[in-house]
Amino acid sequence: MTAVFQGRVVQGGPVDGRALVSRMGFNALAAFSDAILDGTPGALCSDKQNAALYGKDLKDAVLCVSKCVGSTTAGPVWEYVAENGLAPQAILLAGSVDTLTAGGLVLTDIWINRPVTLIDRLGDNFLDNVAEGCRVMAGTNGRVTVEPAVAING
């Protein structure tokens, strides 16, 4: 069943993509360190502590997370992944955005001109209604629609 949530648009435009979901804190440095080091075309999540995301391609995903945590190096990390086309399409947060993610993503908009969409305050039950592979759409008004994941045969 389709679920709809209302959040706060911090920045960015419309979203339409497949969800990756993490109920534990998302650590940008740990997640993107391999992508930064290897210079590979994708952005396979390198955070071993995050079982839900480890090894999955974060590039162009709609990243649905509870919180973001980790190192203050997040600023240059977000700049790098945005500049090199490795960033997720959007970050959707159940609660309020933290200072590291907010700062890093504002930099992608103002200094890199490749804004990563950020919508926060989607509510505690947002993560209960979104699963990996769900189609997630959002307009510029912060209204987020989640459609169930469709099983692909073969």
Partner 1 sequence: MRLTDDEQRMLNGEQGEVQRKLMQTLVRYGETMDAGCLVEVEGPGHLVVLDSRRGWGARLEFLEEVAAAGLKTRFPFTMDPPGPYRVDVLDLSPSQEQAVNKRYAGEERYRELMLKLGLRDRQGTTCTPWFEQVGNRPQYGQILAWAESSAVVFINSVLGARTHRNAGVIELISNLVGKTPLAGLLTDDGRKADWLIEVDVSTRPDPQLLGFIVGDAVLDEVPYVTGMQPYLSSSLDQTTLQYLHDFGTNCAVGGGVGLFHIDGVTPEARQSGQSLLRDYYKTLRIDDDMIAARQSVMIASLPTEKITPDKCLVGCPHLTLTQLLAWSQRIDDSLSKHHSSRLAVETIMVAAPEVVAAFEASGEPYQHFIDAGARLSSFCLEGLMQDRAISPATVITNSNKLRHYNTGVYYFDDELLAEAMVTGVATRSTSP
* Closer of 9 and 134 to partner 1 (Cβ): 9
Shortest reach from residue 14's CB to partner 1, in Å? 19
Task: Please identify which residue in the block is written with the tokens 């189609």.
Answer: 135
Give the chain's largest Cα–Cα span: 43
Output the DSSP codes for 66-134: S-EES-TTHHHHHHHHHHTT-S-SEEEESSPPPHHHHHHHHHHHHTTS-PPEEEE---TTTGGG--TT-
Minimum gap (Å) between residue 123 Cβ and partner 1:
17
User: Residue 55 Cβ, how far from partner 1 at the closest point, in Å?
Assistant: 14
- In whole angstroms, how close is the CB of 63 to partner 1 at the nearest point? 16
Closer to partner 1 by CB, 103 or 139: give it: 103
Nearer to partner 1, 91 or 146 (CB): 91
Query: Which residues of the shown chain bind partner 1 in the complex (CB under 8 A)?
Result: 10-11, 25, 29-30, 32-33, 36-38, 48-49, 67-81, 83, 96-104, 106-107, 109-111, 120
Would strands 8-11 and 117-120 be described as parallel, antiparallel, or unpaired? antiparallel
Classified as helix, coil or strand, 31 is helix
Q: Cα(98)–Cα(51) distance, rounded to whole angstroms?
A: 22
3-class SS of residue 139: coil
Closer Cβ to partner 1, 2 or 49, answer by number: 49
